[in-house]
Amino acid sequence: MIPFNKPHLTGKETHYIYDAVNSGQLSGNGKYTRMCQEWMEHKFGFGKCLLTTSCTDALEMAAILLNIKEGDEVIMPSYTFVSTANAFVLRGAKIVFADSKPNHPGMDESKIEDLITSKTKAIVPVHYAGVACDMDLIMEVAQKHKLFVVEDAAQAIDSYFINKRGEKKALGTIGHLAAFSFHETKNIISGEGGMLAINDAQFYDRAEIIWEKGTNRSAFFKGEVDKYGWVDVGSSFLPSEMVAAFLFAQLESLEGIQARRTQIWYTYQNKLAHWCRSNNIKLPRVPEYATNNAHMFYLVCESKKQRSQLIQYLKDHDVLSVFHYLSLHKSEFYQNKHDGRALMECDRYADTLVRLPLYFDLLEEEQNLIVKAINSFSFE
């Protein structure tokens, strides 16, 4: 069976973990944590980076930093992972879900302004499949209504938005805050892991405090204060040095990882184009203003029945393909709290989107087998 995902190892991970273990500092915020954070800031131009134990944690830090409280409203897509919403629900926020676009599973930016009320505090765009939301539109609306923007960039490492001035901006550098994931299903991994990118300097100091259990321990170690204590709310959001050491090995191999993933992505696109056209199946769309970080390759079927047929057929041919999110506004937990608006496009992607295996170690002959299987399939 060709799996849907296989975590890729560069070979350097255990070497750096060995070094971290022998260096004597095992807890967080040590040498490897700082190396990863500086690497990220330098490579992509984030204001400041803090490694976290997951993207979920980075989103929770964002909600604390924005002082989200009972009754605040936060706008985000319904077609996303539960953590995008949970982080804000934990602070008492009401989630106002936006629909997806007709031609992309990402949130429909043109509908955001209609959802803003006097209680709205933040917009949380999710760069689905690592493909940028229209950040010009989102930042414009946010500025006009004095809202914060938190990019859920979990899937969006090494992906860019080309703004209306023609500047190429890394995703995660545009919103006030951004959250990344290094879960083993993402392009760059550390098992579980994440990062908060902070672009608005007003949050730099407080982010470090929240990160270190609500203490000013970071400032203490930098010699900025002469004792450390409890100064704010916070939690234990930082990963250990072993996790950071693993991540550093992956970052060093970013270019090679991205090159191989991109090759697989375009092979799918080229070799499936004809079959998709004949069967009225949609290929992933990358708008003019976005780059492609080859995080995910998906197909959008015409119906749920078609999708089930395709998934079953591939399974019969030893290929594991999977569907993705269920609409959050219809989830067991949130359906009674949702305001009742129908979100048709989101529901459509929940029913019809299927993801194909895409990972560094997918062999050429395995991909050929997948492509060949699909090309010889016809729907009932």
Ligand X SMILES: *Cc1c(COP(=O)(O)O)cnc(C)c1O
State the residues that interact with ligand X by CB under 6 A: 54-56, 80-81, 83-84, 126, 152, 154-155, 181, 183, 194
List CB contacts of 117: < 8 A, sequence separation 6 or more.
Answer: 73
Antiparallel, parallel or unpaired: β 100-101 and 104-107: antiparallel
- Is the Cβ of residue 160 or residue 374 nearer to ligand X in the bound state? 160
List CB contacts of 356: < 8 A, sequence separation 6 or more.
Answer: 268, 297, 298, 299, 319, 321, 370
Task: Tell me how far CA of residue 297 lies from CA of 19, 67, 131, 164, 203, in angstroms.
Answer: 36, 36, 11, 27, 35
Distance of CA 340 to the CA centre of its chain: 27
CB of 189 to ligand X, least distance (A): 10
CB of 83 to ligand X, least distance (A): 4
Task: Spell out the alpha helix ranges (H) of 154-240.
Answer: 204-211, 217-221
Antiparallel, parallel or unpaired: β 73-77 and 120-123: parallel
CB of 168 to ligand X, least distance (A): 22
- Is the Cβ of residue 81 or residue 349 nearer to ligand X in the bound state? 81
30: nearest Cα among 241, 272, 184: 241
How many Cβ atoms are within 10 Å of 84's Cβ, its own excluded? 25
List CB contacts of 223: < 8 A, sequence separation 6 or more.
Answer: none
- Is the Cβ of residue 180 or residue 217 nearer to ligand X in the bound state? 180
- Is the Cβ of residue 124 or residue 141 nearer to ligand X in the bound state? 124
- Is the Cβ of residue 100 or residue 306 nearer to ligand X in the bound state? 100
CB of 155 to ligand X, least distance (A): 5
CB 203 within 8 A of CB 176: yes
CB of 43 to ligand X, least distance (A): 20
CB of 233 to ligand X, least distance (A): 20
- Is the Cβ of residue 81 or residue 265 nearer to ligand X in the bound state? 81
